[in-house]
Chains A and B, each alone.
Chain A
Amino acid sequence: MANSMAKSFLQAAATEEVVSPLRVVQIEGLVILKIIKHCKEFSPALVTGQLLGLDVGSVLEVTNCFPFPIREEDEEIEADGANYQLEMMRCLREVNVDNNTVGWYQSTILGSYQTVELIETFMNYQENIRRCVCIIYDPSRSNQGVLALKALKLSDSFMELYRANSFTGEKLREKNLSWMDIFEEIPIKVSNSALISAFMTELESDTPVTQCDYDRLQLSSNPYMERNMEFLIECMDDLSVEQQKFQFYYRSLSRQQAQQQAWLQKRRADNMQRKAAGEDPLPEEDPSNPIFKPIPEPSRLESFLITNQIANYCNQINGVSGQSFNRLYLMKSLHDN
Chain B
Amino acid sequence: MASKFWTQGGSDTEEEETDIEDEIENGGAGETTAAAAGSRYLQTNASDSDDSDGQKRVVRSAKDKRFEEMASTVDQMKNAMKINDWVSLQESFDKINKQLEKVMRVTESDRVPNLYIKCLVMLEDFLAEALANKEAKKKMSSSNHKALNAMKQKLKKNNKQYEELINKYRENPESEEEKLEDEDEDEDEDESGSELEDPSQIAAESSDEDDEGEDVDDDDADGAWEKKLSKKEKLMDREFKKDPSEITWDTVNKKFKEVVAARGRKGTGKFEQVEQLTFLTKVAKTPAQKLEILFSVISAQFDVNPGLSGHMPINVWKKCVQNMLVILDILVQYPNIVVDDMVEPDENETQKGADYDGTIRVWGNLVAFLERIDNEFFKSLQCIDPHTREYVERLRDEPLFLVLAQNVQEYLERIGDLKSAAKVALRRVELVYYKPQEVYDAMRQLAVLSEDGEKDGDETKVEETWGTSAFVVTPELVSRKLTFPENSRALMDILVTLIYKSGDERTKARAMLCDIYHHALFDEFSIARDLLLMSHLQDTIQHMDVSTQILFNRAMAQVGLCAFRVGLIAEGHGCLSELYSGGRVKELLAQGVSQSRYHEKTPEQERLERRRQMPYHMHINLELLEAVHLICAMLLEVPNMAANSLDAKRKVISKTFRRLLEVSERQPFTGPPENVRDHVMAATRALCKGDFQKAFDVINSLDVWKLLRNRESVLEMLKAKIKEEALRTYLFTYCFSYDTLGLDQLTKMFDLSDAQIHSIVSKMLVNEELHASWDQPTRCIIFHDVEYSRLQALAFQLTEKLSILAESNERAVEARFGGGGLDLPLRRRDNQEYAAGTAGGGGGRWPDLSYNQGRQGSSGRAAYTGGGRPLALGQASRDRSSQSRGTGGYSGRAGSGMRGYQMDASARMVSLSRGVRG
Contacts and interface: CB of A to CB of B under 8 A. Distances in A.
A229 B791 contact: yes
Given A231-B851, A240-B834, A125 B866 contact: yes
Nearest to A45: B887
B841 A237 contact: yes
A144 interface: no
Contacts of A64: none
Contacts of B856: 115, 117
B449 to A, nearest CB: 64
A124 B861 contact: no
Contacts of B804: 240
A101 B879 CA distance: 23
Task: Name which of A46, A68, A104, A118 has the most chain B CB atoms within 10 A of its CB.
Answer: A46
A134 B808 CA distance: 36
A124 B871 CA distance: 10
A74 to B, nearest CB: 9
Interface in B862-918: 862-871, 873, 875-877, 879-881, 883-884, 886-887, 890-891
B855 interface: yes
Interface string A99-125: 001001011110011010110110011
Interface string B778-801: 000000000001110011011001
Contact of B864 (A68, A109, A129): A68
Interface stretch (A16-24, A244-252, A265-273): A244-252
A108 B886 CA distance: 12
A3 interface: no
Nearest to B858: A46
A291 interface: no
Interface string B801-830: 110110011001001000000100001000
A234 B852 contact: yes
Task: Name which of A68, A134, A226 has the most chain B CB atoms within 10 A of its CB.
Answer: A226
Interface string B8-27: 00000000000000000000
A112 B834 contact: no
A240 B806 CA distance: 10
A129 B844 CA distance: 43
Interface in B698-748: none
A188 interface: no
B860 interface: yes
Task: Name which of B838, B855, B867 has the most chain A CB atoms within 10 A of its CB.
Answer: B855
A118 B875 CA distance: 13
A85 B863 CA distance: 11
Contacts of A219: none
B848 interface: yes
B657 to A, nearest CB: 28
A46 to B, nearest CB: 4
A48 interface: yes
Nearest to B811: A247
A123 to B, nearest CB: 11
Given A106-B861, A113-B858, A230-B844, A250 B791 contact: no
B838 A237 contact: yes
B808 A117 contact: no
Contacts of B838: 237
A109 B867 CA distance: 28
A85 B864 contact: yes
B801 A236 contact: yes
A247 B826 CA distance: 13
Interface stretch (A75-83, A155-163, A207-215, A277-285): A75-83
B805 A240 contact: yes
Contacts of A251: 822
Contacts of B887: 44-45
Contacts of A71: 861, 880
B133 interface: no
A73 B876 CA distance: 11
A244 B789 CA distance: 32
User: Which secondary structure dominates where chain A touches chain B?
Assistant: helix
Interface in A186-235: 222, 225-226, 229-234
Task: Name which of B857, B866, B876 has the most chain A CB atoms within 10 A of its CB.
Answer: B866
A232 B798 contact: yes
User: What is the interface residue range for chain B against chain A?
Assistant: 35 or more
A45 to B, nearest CB: 5
A49 to B, nearest CB: 9
A222 B897 CA distance: 13
Contact of B858 (A108, A237, A243): A108
Contacts of A47: 861
B480 to A, nearest CB: 59
B884 to A, nearest CB: 7
A72 B378 CA distance: 72
Given A225-B791, A237-B841, A73 B881 contact: yes
B857 to A, nearest CB: 7
B667 interface: no
A50 interface: yes
Given A82-B871, A229-B798, A251-B822, A128 B866 contact: yes
A146 interface: no
Contact of A46 (B801, B854, B869, B875): B854
B864 A233 contact: no
B859 interface: yes
B24 to A, nearest CB: 70
A94 to B, nearest CB: 17
A108 B858 CA distance: 7
Contact of A226 (B790, B865, B871, B881): B790
Contact of B865 (A46, A73, A124, A250): A124
Contact of A236 (B802, B862, B875): B802
A237 B873 CA distance: 30
A101 B798 CA distance: 42
A128 B865 contact: yes
A232 B864 CA distance: 30
B864 A50 contact: yes
A239 interface: yes
Interface string A250-276: 110000000000000000000000000
Nearest to A101: B866
Contacts of A81: 864
B794 A78 contact: no
Contacts of B861: 46-48, 68, 71, 106
Contacts of B797: 233
Interface string B689-701: 0000000000000
B822 A247 contact: yes
A325 B852 CA distance: 29
A107 B864 contact: no
A230 B851 contact: yes
A222 B791 contact: yes
Nearest to B863: A121
A234 B848 contact: yes
A86 interface: yes
Contacts of A44: 854, 887, 890-891
Contacts of A124: 863, 865, 869
A233 B798 contact: yes
Nearest to A124: B865
Given A115-B858, A243-B805, A86 B815 contact: no
19 contacts: A44-B890, A45-B883, A68-B864, A75-B877, A81-B864, A82-B864, A106-B862, A108-B858, A112-B855, A113-B855, A117-B858, A124-B863, A128-B866, A222-B789, A222-B791, A233-B848, A234-B848, A240-B801, A247-B812
Given A71-B861, A73-B884, A125-B866, 19 more contacts: A45-B883, A48-B864, A73-B881, A81-B864, A85-B866, A86-B868, A106-B862, A112-B855, A112-B858, A115-B858, A117-B857, A117-B858, A226-B790, A229-B791, A230-B794, A243-B812, A247-B808, A250-B815, A251-B822
Q: Considering the complex of A and B, which 4 residue pairs feature the smallest CB-CB distances, nearest first? A: A101-B866, A118-B859, A48-B861, A229-B794
Interface of A: 44-48, 50, 68, 71, 73, 75, 78, 81-82, 85-86, 101, 104, 106-109, 112-113, 115, 117-118, 120-121, 124-125, 128-129, 134, 222, 225-226, 229-234, 236-237, 239-240, 243-244, 246-247, 250-251
